[in-house]
Amino acid sequence: MASKGIINVCLVGQKFMGRTHSNAYLKVGKFFDLPVSPVMHTIVGRDAQELEEFKNKWGWQNSSTDWRASVTNSEIQLVDIGTPNNLHREMALAALEAGKHVACEKPLAGTLDDAREMRDAAKRAKRSKTFVWYNYRRVPAVALAHQLVKAGKIGRIYHIRAYYLQDWAGPDVPLIWRFQKKVAGSGSHGDLGAHIIDMARFITGDEFAEITGALSETFVKERAIPSRGSSGGIAGGAQAATQMGKVDVDDAMLFLARMKGGAVASFEATRFSTGYQNKNGLEIHGEKGALRFNFEHMNWLDFYDRSDERKTQGWHNIMVTHGGDHPYAEAWWPDAHIIGYEHGFINQVADMMNVLGAKEPVAPLPDFEDAYKTQQVMEAVAIAAKEKRPVKMNEVK
């Protein structure tokens, strides 16, 4: 067993998310005063040569190609699953059965059935904490939006307008795992849409009542089968061969919804929005005010206060960098010294360590139960798109 105050981590996966998670574990203790500290004990992957290089570069103590032996190792307290979605279930169940805390990349699983098993296993594992990497909750501007809504600053919510727009998936990109249903579960819907569904739930504190309509489209029906997978980004480094394979996931998903609190909502997730590399955001309009966030300008939150004097009424562009007033800001730099993508992951590790050390997180963390609710919404949207009908959330158990 590890020493008191230490959390030995086993991370499974050393590609894109492996890099972001490794960086977070490496940096978090430099900036946050933690009740317990993560130790980079074991990194797990499939390619032994790549793994050894990764271990040495990022500072992991051990590497292994045997995930089952690693996640059940008696020296490990926290298992972090950063693999493609179809592997989440088996790894999470093994880790929970072994009494580990588990952090899992989003979405919770590739299918609703897998996600349900994971949720139920987490309920049975009374001593294990679970976390899901909906990292945009840890962006200070998003966490501030959550606080403002909770404080009643925008009042009754009328509209939610959410989008996640990327443009990397053109026809020349090979058939990497993100385009394969058996591995990913879905396309832009699970990769991007899951984030904005979670972000809308998180900021508003409201839940979905009904998906009133949905539209799914696959623009590129076939892609070249890769001779080599990506090398640590989304698709960068992947090399195509000459044989073609079928794409069986969505390239874009759009849907409309009603919330339990009475708001109406629209959502759009696509990998084909030419000109937007990572435009992830939402607008929320209420009786007393409104909020607007766009991750391509992640250090700012727009706030409209309807109670302002009419002659000066307008959008306030808040730079969310002031320690003491803005979430997470006091751990970082002086005012207006902005942060980046990686800081959301570091903030999440800090909150996970707070929870494991019996302290409150800065912003609420999604566990498997919480993430299952997002998975239910994803399933309802998929049904609505396939069957071309409204789907009430009580249809999706």
In tens, the pLDDT along 50-106 reads 999 999 999 999 999 999 999 999 999 999 999 999 999 999 999 999 999 999 999
Q: Pick from 98, 76, 88: which is nearest to 118 by CA?
A: 88
d(Cα 119, Cα 377) in Å, to the nearest integer? Answer: 15
- pLDDT tier for residue 1 given thresholds of 50, 70 and 90: very low
What is the average per-residue pLDDT within 173-197? 95
d(Cα 374, Cα 368) in Å, to the nearest integer? Answer: 10
- pLDDT tier for residue 227 given thresholds of 50, 70 and 90: confident
> Residue type at 263?
A
> Residue type at 172?
D
In tens, the pLDDT along 350-390 reads 999 999 999 999 999 999 999 999 999 999 999 999 999 99
CATH 3.40.50.720 boundaries in the chain: 6-135
- pLDDT tier for residue 240 given thresholds of 50, 70 and 90: low
> Residue type at 52?
E
| pLDDT above 90 as % of the chain | 94
Q: Are residues 184 and 368 in contact, defined by beta-carbon separation less than 8 angstroms?
A: no
Judging by beta carbons within 10 Å of its beta carbon (0-12, 13-18, 19+), is residue 25 exposed, middle or buried?
buried
**Cβ atoms within 10 Å, residue 79:** 28
Q: What would the two tokens of residue 294 be?
A: 């766009």
**How long, in residues, is the chain?**
397
Those residues whose C-beta lies under 8 Å from the C-beta of residue 309, and which sit 6 or more positions away, are none
Q: Is residue 2's pLDDT more than 50?
A: no
In tens, the pLDDT along 152-184 reads 999 999 999 999 999 999 999 999 999 999 999
d(Cα 363, Cα 143) in Å, to the nearest integer? Answer: 6
pLDDT of residue 212: 98
In tens, the pLDDT along 97-149 reads 999 999 999 999 999 999 999 999 999 999 999 999 999 999 999 999 999 99
Phi-psi region of 189 (alpha: psi -120 to 50; beta: other; left: phi over 0): alpha
CATH 3.30.360.10 boundaries in the chain: 138-354+372-386
Question: What's the angle, vertex CA 230, arms to CA 225 and CA 233, rounded to 5?
Answer: 140
d(Cα 314, Cα 325) in Å, to the nearest integer? Answer: 22
**Cβ atoms within 10 Å, residue 51:** 19
Q: What is the 3-state secondary structure (H, E, C) of the chain?
A: CCCCCEEEEEEECCCHHHHHHHHHHHHHHHHCCCCCEEEEEEEECCCHHHHHHHHHHHCCCEEECCHHHHHCCCCCCEEEECCCHHHHHHHHHHHHHCCCEEEECCCCCCCHHHHHHHHHHHHHCCCCCEEECCHHHHCHHHHHHHHHHHCCCCCCEEEEEEEEECCCCCCCCCCCHHHCHHHHCCCHHHHHHHHHHHHHHHHHCCCEEEEEEEEEECCCCEEEEEEECCCCCCCCCCEEEEEEEECCCCCEEEEEEEECCCCEEEEEEECCCCCCCCEEEEEEEECCEEEEEEHHHCCEEEEEECCCCHHHCCEEEEECCCCCCCCCHHHCCCCCCCCCHHHHHHHHHHHHHHHHCCCCCCCCCCCHHHHHHHHHHHHHHHHHHHHCCCEEHHHCC
The least confident of 18-27, 218-227, 253-262 is 218-227
What is the average per-residue pLDDT within 285-299? 98
Looking at CATH, the fold of the domain delimited by 6-135 is given as: Rossmann fold (3.40.50)
Q: What would the two tokens of residue 149 be?
A: 């809504």
> Residue type at 226?
P
Name the architecture of domain 138-354+372-386: 2-Layer Sandwich (3.30)
